[in-house]
Amino acid sequence: MNCTNLKQGQILVCERCGLELKVTNECGDERCSMGCAGDMDCCGEPMKLKE
């Protein structure tokens, strides 16, 4: 999951260790999206949206 695709209120979870990250502010401009490269990962695996 890339940070440019995340919406406010969504939660990312690491399926290996259980770490959760909640999006409080969306990446809303071009300057922010330039820093978003690749998937967000934890414990060497991509994080997934919590359902």
In whole angstroms, what is the distance from residue 37 CA to residue 28 CA? 15
Domain CATH code at residue 8? 2.20.28
pLDDT of res. 5: 82
Residue 44 falls in which region: left (phi positive, over 0), alpha (psi -120 to 50) or beta: left
For the entire predicted model, the pTM comes to: 0.78
42 is in which domain, residue-wise? 3-49
Number of domains in the chain: 1
CA-to-CA separations, 34 to 16, 17, 22, 48, 51, in angstroms, rounded: 28, 29, 21, 21, 28
Contact 40, 27 (CB under 8 A): no
Contact 50, 12 (CB under 8 A): yes
Kindly report, residue by residue over 7-40, the tens digit of the pLDDT.
999 999 999 999 999 999 887 777 766 667 778 8
pLDDT of res. 35: 64
pLDDT for 51 beyond 70: yes
